[in-house]
């Protein structure tokens, strides 16, 4: 096991209280009250997690899936049904951590928590790290610090990930009218509350700036109509040019995190099937972007 110091996590920082509007938004987005009853619970690495088992078979692997919400809201409780679909299709156990939120706990508190979960698993290097939106950005950060510590995960699945907190992508404006669930203003608000003065170009918050060598085989999924499209495509291209194994899945016409938010669509089913196929395979393949 790698020594704790080898992970080189930035030190924790104090944040500030959330305003009433954000607290109300968190309550609305918390998820159904019976979600815990439909999932198992565990404390892994000192962090509370929901654990979703595949139905009809023993789990063949484990995936840490990090919820979205712009680092400032969201909960695993809203992900139980979605995670169950992935678990059943892939035959894998899905672990949904309750990581700390900003602004009360800014960067890097969430990263500390998900690293603790990752290090709390017995067979870390067979684990797939996944997440959507801010959770996708956090999953990318986990991949980076794990690789630097010599404990790279088996793979990564990033769904509509936030990969550039400087908000430079042209699709933030170009797709603004087509993606009702997310916006450039939401990216900038998330960045302000999460970073609280930290450099937005740090690869641990904007993985578009990261060294491709820090990433395992990676599946990246994006909607063709979402505001984050450009940064996601640029990230996948950067991994491919860095000779990493990466698959880019683009769902035409779909907006932000469509597999969760539009679960009855064929595009959502295709995305879950792509995730399941990716985690089942994970064998060496030629590097490059496949579409």
Question: What are the pLDDT tens digits along the chain (291 aa)?
Answer: 334 448 889 999 999 999 999 999 999 988 888 898 899 999 999 999 999 999 999 999 999 999 999 999 999 999 999 999 999 999 999 999 999 999 999 999 999 999 999 999 998 889 999 999 999 999 999 999 999 999 999 999 999 999 999 999 999 999 999 999 999 999 999 999 999 999 999 999 999 999 999 999 999 999 999 999 999 999 999 999 999 999 999 999 999 999 999 999 999 999 999 999 999 998 444 334 444
Is 218 domain-assigned? yes
Domain at 155, CATH number: 3.40.50.1820
At residue 182, the 3 state secondary structure works out as: coil
pLDDT of res. 283? 47
In this prediction, residue 86 carries a pLDDT of: 98
Q: Enter the DSSP assignment of 92.
A: -
Residue in 116, 106, 142 with CA at minimum distance from that of residue 218 = 142
Task: State both tokens at 248.
Answer: 């880019």
Spatial neighbors of 183 by CB under 8 A, at least 6 apart, are: 172, 176, 227
Q: What confidence score (pLDDT) does residue 30 get? A: 86
From CA 199, how far away is CA 213, in angstroms rounded? Answer: 22
Residue 105 lies in a domain: yes
Judge whether 141 and 205 are in contact, CB under 8 Å. Answer: yes
Residue range of the domain that includes 77: 4-282
Answer whether residue 289 is part of any domain.
no
- pLDDT at site 148: 94
Catalytic site includes residue 133: yes
Q: Is residue 290 part of a domain?
A: no
- Residue 120 pLDDT: 97
Q: Is 73 within the bounds of a domain?
A: yes
Q: Output the CA angle 84-88-91, nearest 5 degrees.
A: 125
User: How far is C-alpha 244 from the geometric centre of its chain's CA atoms?
Assistant: 19
Does residue 288 belong to any structural domain of this protein?
no
- Of residues 75, 133, 171, 206, which has the active-site annotation? 133
Find out whether 256 and 250 touch, Cβ atoms under 8 Å: no
Q: Are 77 and 85 in contact (CB under 8 A)?
A: no
Model pTM score:
0.95
Residue 93, in any domain of the structure: yes
Our count of domains for the chain comes to: 1
- Domain assignment present for residue 214? The answer is yes
Say if strands 155-159 and 245-251 run parallel, antiparallel, or are unpaired.
Answer: unpaired
């Amino acid at each position: 096991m790698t020594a704790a110091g080898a992970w080189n996590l930035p030190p924790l920082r104090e944040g500030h209280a959330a305003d009433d509007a954000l607290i109300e938004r968190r309550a609305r987005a918390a998820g159904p009250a019976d979600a815990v009853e439909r999932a198992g619970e565990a404390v892994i690495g000192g962090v509370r997690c929901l654990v979703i088992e595949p139905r009809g078979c023993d789990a063949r692997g484990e995936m840490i899936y990090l919820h979205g919400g712009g680092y400032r809201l969201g909960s695993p409780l809203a992900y139980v049904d979605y995670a169950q679909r992935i678990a059943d299709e892939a035959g894998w156990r899905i672990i949904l951590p309750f990581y700390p939120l900003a602004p009360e706990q800014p960067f890097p508190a969430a990263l500390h928590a998900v690293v603790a979960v990752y290090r709390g698993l017995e067979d870390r290097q067979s684990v797939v790290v996944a997440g959507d939106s801010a959770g996708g950005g956090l999953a990318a950060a986990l991949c980076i610090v794990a690789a630097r510590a010599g404990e790279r995960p088996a793979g990564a699945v990033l769904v509509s990930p936030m990969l550039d907190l400087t908000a430079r992508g042209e699709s933030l404006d170009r797709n603004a009218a087509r993606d009702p669930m997310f916006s450039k203003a939401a990216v900038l608000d998330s960045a302000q509350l999460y970073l609280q003065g930290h450099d937005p170009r740090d690869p641990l918050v904007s993985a578009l700036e990261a060294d491709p060598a820090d990433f395992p085989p990676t599946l990246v999924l994006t909607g063709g109509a979402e505001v984050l499209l450009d940064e996601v495509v640029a990230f996948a291209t950067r991994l491919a040019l860095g000779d990493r194994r990466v698959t880019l899945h683009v769902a035409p016409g779909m907006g932000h995190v469509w597999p969760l938010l539009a679960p009855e669509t064929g595009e959502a089913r295709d995305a879950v099937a792509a995730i399941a196929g990716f985690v089942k395979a994970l064998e060496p393949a030629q590097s490059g972007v496949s579409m």
